[in-house]
Structure 1
Amino acid sequence: MEFGLPEDNNNISLKKFESMLKTNNVLFFDSNEFENIIHHYLEIGKIALAKKAIKLGLDQHPSSINLKLFQTEILVLENKFDDANKVLEALHVIEPNNEEVYIQKANVLSKQDMHEKAVNTLLIALDLATNNEGIGDLYALIGMEYLFLDQFENAKLYFKKCLDIDLEDYSALYNIIYCYDFLEEHNDAITFLNSYVDQNPYCEVAWHQLGRQYVTINDLDKALAAFEFAIISDDSFVGAYLEKGKVLEKKKHFLEAIENYKITLALEEPTSFALLRIGHCYDKLKQYDLAVQYYYKTVHEDPLLDKGWIAITKFYNKQKNYQKALFYINKAINIDSENVVYWKLYAQINSRLNFLEEAEHGYKKTLDLGNYELQTWLSRADILITLGEFEAAILNLIQAAEFHPETAEIEFRLAGLNFTLHENSKGHYHLKNAVLLNHEFEYIIEELFPKVLQRPTVREILLAAKK
């Protein structure tokens, strides 16, 4: 469907239509005016107004094919597929060679996950299409259907056909690269993009994508050159400066990376990503005052960005300023109490401050949120042992063994705990298991259960394991 009314006429039609809705006076519009009004409302997402325009349009122009096609579009949006098909079948009888009818039929099929049938229907529409713009749109629709089918080679083929019609169809370009990425054909993507920039040498999008492909294969020098060409093509392209900054970081050129990140701050509103990266760069340069300033700016810019809170917490942790680290991780937890990394840091910092009950709570919360790493179970167990909560420690370790069976670190702890609680048969059982799994962890008994080590039977089992 073509929409070609001049902008002024379109605005006059819209104002007239909206005035009519307010006054309830029915005014006459020609079918082209209705089409442009409906198209406008669909583009801005005002579906209810589009539906009103379609109803009034069909009241005044009941034989308009285009208005009925808009009607099917709305029916598809409302998942009324049977109703949409009835309208389309009636239209097909009237205009069997109308490509738009087939496009809407394909849309109905696609929405019902019948993508193979949608492709076949679009191929019929393609045979009926007469102008390049319409053919390009159909290639794009067929490409998308193949994406839904995970047929990436076919999808690539049709998106490349889009570029044959319009070299600056960047949506098709992105989709082609998506296919290459999914298939992990990075060298092929590089070959394709190099060929593309030969034809369109000032395409910042292509240079940017080429740089990202070079990063993927770890050819950082070529990546850097590609991002520089993207910037030459468009010196306000924020994405290219960000990617160039990331590559410079990898090459340990931190001052140059900072320079590129700062350019993005000048070009657009500051982004938390750029602020965070600048902070990391200053951190690497040991310019700690500047590093922490940018970490502060990061969490101020985006309080929901977990990487910002983690960075500032780890910064103070590394400086051994555990009180400040705890202050910031508490702030982070107040914002998002379901973040596993926050609770893990909370537990570690409290442990360093010897706030053992708080540390144990942190590790428990970490486990409750699904972090089942061995070290988390062991750290919680060791704190419970220090607190004298031996039965809770045993329960914790038994749960840990479900996720990490046949683990010497767990078995040595269970042995020591059971001996401590005078469950000698269980103690012997776990100790024998432990030394069979890996006797090198016997230092656990010495460090956590020195009294248990004094038992002759324990020393006997440990000595036997060394022979």
Structure 2
Amino acid sequence: MEENFKKRNEEKELLKKYESFRENKEAFYFTSDEYESIIQNYIDQNKHRKALKAINSAIEQYPFAVEFMVLKAQTYSNLQEYGIAINILEKAGNLHPGDSDIFLIKGNIQILNGDIDEALTSFEKALESSEDKDEIFYSIGLAYQNRGDYKEAITFFKKSLEENLNNENALYELAYCLDVTGELETSISYYKEFIDKDPYSEYAWFNLGIVYNKLEKYEDSINAYEYCLAIDEKYSSAYFNMGNSLMMLKKYEQGLNAFKTTLELEGPTPEIYFSIGSVYEQMEQYDLAIRYYRKSTKLDQFYDEAWYCTGVCLGHQNKWYEAVHFFNKALKLSVENAEYWMALAEAEYKVGNVISSVDAYDEVSQLDPGNVDVWKKWSFIYHEQGDHEQAMNIIHDGLEELPDEAELFYQAVIYLIEKGHYKLAFTYLEKGLFLNYDGHTILYDHFPKLETQKALYKIIQQYK
């Protein structure tokens, strides 16, 4: 730790020295290693324009150093100026035709630029002069994956793993492609073969855990993660994924411990704070859940789901005014999220903002017209306000979207009976019973009077 601290201080001093020379327009000289440190520092801070200035100075001093040409290309790629990056690497490839890394990096940038055929050509050139082929096969797999050719991508991810069993990225992308092609179940034997070859590959166990998790075999998933952790007790991603599997089994205390261990190993991240918050929410410890959701948004103010979940917890505490505030914050970041609009609609209704609630339900109806609850709750507001006609209009709009949804027919029955339109109510009742006979019990919940229930029972029995 002391060595790391000393190294960081040296890097800071070097950067200050470089910036002082530039500011004062003094002549300066740095070794290639010092330049690499300065450039990497800027890249790590996303100061790509400053990185480019440092790279240009380095190239002036070391015009044939390929590492600075590559850094320049990667920096332009970070700025999404892919054409410039590719041109730089073409020049570098002409100067160093046997350097496979140049063609590998060029191919990866061509993928980002959407030039898949050109990328595959670059990877072929890289294969000609490279002894370490696993990263190249992995990149070829990515190229096919970006094209949507998942079968071919699987072939090359497997080739990558034949070269290097512990290529973590290839294992992960292979699992993704197998999921897309519906081959996850059959892939279990493939991962087990890997484990037979190298039972101490934490990556193989980790990815087997991912496969089991995607197949909803959560106990098997947890067992695989535990084997992974037996090999590498500091594999933080295994703790995190195991926490998610435990959550699916409603083993909240164990899930919480897994997430907290991830926090200890990785340090604070918005995702881990959010996950801890979600456990506390499931345990109905809403104050603690809110505390961790707020920690998440402090690290990432654009984490809309954390803002939303804060509002949900406040709703559980009947703090509806505060909930409205947080739902609005979530919606500013994700304006087309129907779930957020639905939550806002309910919260606005709770605080008596009927117009705002109606507007929010209107948004949900456009974003998620297949959600039966929006039509029921939206129409109920008008019904409660005494606007029977508009309530029925909303139900009719809902039935246009969901013509076979029995719940909407039963909701119409409730409104019609309350207005004394019995004949029309029976028409809707008949349709509801035809679509879902058992769903009629909601009518008894809405009409608690014994006389009404008896009358309904007699009618309903005729359709049994």
Aligned to 1:143: 141
Aligned residue number for residue 234 of structure 1: 232
Tell me if 1:27 matches 2:28. yes
Q: Indicate how the Cα distance of structure 1 residues 343 and 123 shifts in structure 2: closer, same or farther if over 3 A, else same.
A: closer
What's the TM-score, normalizing by structure 2? 0.69
1:60-209 matched pairs, under 5 angstroms: 60-62=61-63, 67-74=68-75, 76=77, 96-100=97-101, 102-103=103-104, 105-107=106-108, 109-129=110-130, 131-132=131-132, 135-209=133-207
SS of the counterpart of 1:271? helix
1:268-307 counterparts in 2 under 5 A? 271-278=273-280, 280-281=282-283, 291-292=285-286, 294-302=288-296, 304-307=306-309
> 2:397 aligns to what?
399
Contact 1:411 1:431 in 2 (8 A): no
Q: Where in structure 1 are there 5+ consecutive unaligned residues? A: 1-6, 284-290, 317-323, 454-458
Q: Which residue of 2 aligns with 1:320?
A: none
Structure 1 distance, partners of 2:296, 2:150, is 37
Distance 1:173 1:96 in 2: 30
Residues 410-433 of structure 1, C-alpha deviation per residue, up to 9 Å, x if partnerless? 5687799899999x9xx9889767
Distance of 1:105 and 1:277 partners within structure 2 = 44
Cα distance in 1 between the residues matched to 2:286 and 2:35: 58
Q: Does 1:362 align with 2:349?
A: no
Note if contact 1:329-1:342 (Cα within 8 Å) is conserved in structure 2: no
User: CA, structure 1 residues 245+118, in 2 after alignment: closer, same or farther (shift >3 Å)?
Assistant: closer
Deviations 1:139-166 (A, max 9, x none): 3332322221233343344334444444
Tell me the residue number matched to 2:302.
none
Question: Which whole-Å CA distance do the structure 1 matches of 2:251 and 2:64 have between them?
Answer: 68
* Higher Cα radius of gyration: 1
1:378 to 376, 379, 383: 376
- Return closer, same or farther for 1:100/1:359 CA change in 2, 3 Å cut-off: same
Q: Distance in 2 between matches of 1:85 and 1:189?
A: 37
Q: CA deviation at 1:40?
A: 5.6
Secondary structure of 2:110's counterpart equals helix
Paired residues of 2:311 and 2:324 also in contact (CA < 8 A): no
Give CA-to-partner distance per residue, 1:278-324, whole Å, 9 cap, x none.
5535x5xxxxxxx455445445544634345435644x5xxxxxxx3
State the partner residue of 1:3.
Answer: none
In the aligned structure 2, how far is the partner of 1:255 from the partner of 1:93? 59
What CA deviation, in whole Å up to 9, does each residue of 1:302-354 have, x standing for no partner? 4634345435644x5xxxxxxx3646644544644667546645766898xxx
Q: Which residue of 1 aligns with 2:386?
A: 388
Give the CA RMSD over aligned residues. 4.9
What CA distance in whole angstroms lies between the structure 2 residues aligned with 1:253 and 1:108? 43
Task: Give the corresponding residue for 1:286.
Answer: none
Is 1:217 the counterpart of 2:215? The answer is yes
Superposition TM-score, scaled by structure 1 size: 0.68
Q: Distance in 2 between matches of 1:26 and 1:346?
A: 61
User: In structure 1, what residue type is equivalent to 2:312?
Assistant: I
8 A Cα contact 2:430 2:463, kept in partner:
no
1:39 Cα deviation from its structure 2 partner:
5.6
Unaligned runs of 5+ in 2: 1-6, 298-305
Identity, % of aligned positions: 19
Deviation string, structure 1 residues 356-392 (Cα, Å, up to 9, x no partner): 9656853552332334323322333234223221343
Alignment size in residue pairs: 424
